[in-house]
Amino acid sequence: MFKMKINRWGITGIIVVLLLVSAGAYYAWSTQPVAAESAPLQTAKARTGDLSIVVSGAGNLVSASRVELGFRTGGTILQADTQVGQAVTEGQVLLRLDDSAARLQLTTKELALQALISSDALNAAQIAQLNAQDLLHTAITNLQYLISPAVYTRELGLSTAQASLEEKKAANAPSTEIVDAEEAVKQAQYLLDSALTTYRTEYVPLSFMYTYKDPTTNVIIETLVPPTADDISLARAQVRTAELALEDANVYFERLSGENTCADLTAVGTLTSKLTQACLDMQSAQFTVDASSLIAPNSGTVTEVMASVGQSVGTSPVIAIATDEMYIHFYVEETDLAQMKVGLPVRITFDAYPDQAFDGAITSIDPELAIIDGSPVVSAWATVDTTQGKELFLSGMTVAVEVVAGEAKSVVLVPAQALRELSAGSYAVFVVQPDNSLKLTPVTIGLRDLANVEILSGLKTGDVVSTGVVETK
């Protein structure tokens, strides 16, 4: 035995030579026709056909929803004509309680309201409106006397300007409009300040100078007694009270003379509060009458009735309705999840109607796997068009589902065995030449299943491709 010494530079040279030889061989193989092997070839013609990628599943027909209904108040069942299996429509009366006491109470409240909106009540409301106007006029006159008409007018002007500015700011008005409104406030404040100066220097001495004779000396004495801050605050409060009273009287008169007295129950006031309470009492009584009838909230089929005529009930459910709208709840294997997508069409076959297929589409896929018989599965929901025939459909019916994950019509197809993967996402096929040699031809593929592949480019119908060789012994 002996040892051969090869330095690292020699090893590197050998590797380079081998790589060059391999590259040259691959280039010649990929660019030149390949001679047919001695073993017989298996071939197939590219053909035009249809290809569908289908995921199979199974499930059941279910109602979109099932509602259990109960009364909003207790009582004794007076009418119960609804039966299990009966089709009902939205708004239909299903059951009715004995509502004689509730209707008597409603009549009482209606009479009480009518007494408040009679012609005599309307005349009284108009008189109250006129009285409120007189009281407001008197209150304003008194306030003007205490602070002077000029100051009163300038205060109103400033208040109006400030309100306009706030309104424009709240509405994000253009900056030029806001600037103009700010200038208006400044001008109104200037006019008010001027009026206050005149008030102190001229109006107060002129209006609140009093003279009297001293009973002891008989001397005529003049004294200035201006209004105090409390006097002015009280006068302002009286104006505000009179304004609210007039507003209340106006609203009261409008409601009495309008078509719907109980349309607006938000206003408050001495006059309107009594009317509002009468409206609320009547509405409450009407609610009790309405609550005596159990109304179907939607169309559907009665699936359960839990009460009968003469039975006393509370607010617990007494009837159940399944909606007419139906869905398919189905399951597919976890390995098929990549093929599932909301919106994909489905073909549905009922065990009860095996010779007829129904159309639908996936509406949702549950975010968690379900466990069926110990195995994880994908849970999904689909619509179903049950208007295609006159068959009877019952909730819970068993179905077989085919999800059409992909479909191509009139495309070029070759057997899956003909496909050769050159690299990730890159494919080719061996095309048989007239001299029986093989030429590696790149292709672009579309849909594929276990048997066939859709060819988007690289082949045409009629081309012969190799699917392998037949081994000979």
pLDDT tens, position by position, 263-302: 777 766 777 888 888 888 998 999 989 889 999 888 888 8
Task: Compute the CA torsion angle 434, 437, 442, 448 (nearest 10 deg).
Answer: 80
Beta-strand ranges (E) seen in 249-374 are 293-295, 300-305, 312-313, 319-323, 326-333, 345-350, 353-365, 370-372
| pLDDT on residue 388 | 65
Residue 459's CB: how many other CB atoms inside 10 A? 20
Closest to 469 in 3D by CA, of 439, 413, 426, 430: 430
- Single pTM value for the model: 0.45
Residues forming beta bridges with residue 415, ordered by sequence position:
452
SS3 417: helix
Cα–Cα distance between 105 and 92 in angstroms, integer?
25
Mode of pairing for the β-strands spanning 464-469 and 41-45: antiparallel
Dihedral angle of Cα 236, 242, 244, 249, to the nearest 10 degrees: -170
Q: Confirm if 224 and 205 have CB atoms less than 8 A apart.
A: yes
pLDDT (tens digit per residue) in 103-142:
999 999 989 888 888 888 888 888 999 999 999 999 999 9
Beta-carbon count within 10 A of 7 CB: 7
Per-residue model confidence (pLDDT) at position 68: 86
CB-CB contact of 347 with 328 (8 Å): no
Closest to 42 (Cα-Cα) out of 421, 459, 417:
417
The one-letter amino acid code at 332 reads V
Separation of alpha carbons 56 and 340, rounded Å: 11
Higher pLDDT, 324 or 186: 186
Quote the CA–CA distance of 204 and 353 in Å, as a whole number. Answer: 102
pLDDT tens readout for residues 21-33: 343 434 444 444 5
Report the candidate in 342, 331, 398, 402 with the shortest Cα–Cα distance to residue 369: 331
Phi, psi of 253, rounded to the nearest 5 degrees: -65, -40
Which range among 385-399, 408-422, 437-451 shows the weakest confidence by mean pLDDT?
A: 385-399
Decide if 384 contacts 358 (C-beta within 8 A).
yes
Residue 237: per-residue pLDDT: 96
Q: Which residue has the higher pLDDT, 192 or 23?
A: 192
- Give the integer Cα–Cα distance in Å for 220 and 214: 6
- As a whole number, the mean pLDDT across the chain is 85
Query: Position 52: which residue type?
Result: S
Pick the range with the lowest mean pLDDT from 146-150, 192-196, 229-233, 469-473: 469-473
d(CA 280, CA 262): 8
The pLDDT, as a whole number, for residue 470 is 53
For residue 118, the tally of other CB atoms under 10 A from its CB is 11
The answer to whether 37 and 375 have CB atoms below 8 angstroms apart is no
pLDDT for residue 14: 36
pLDDT for the residue numbered 385 = 82
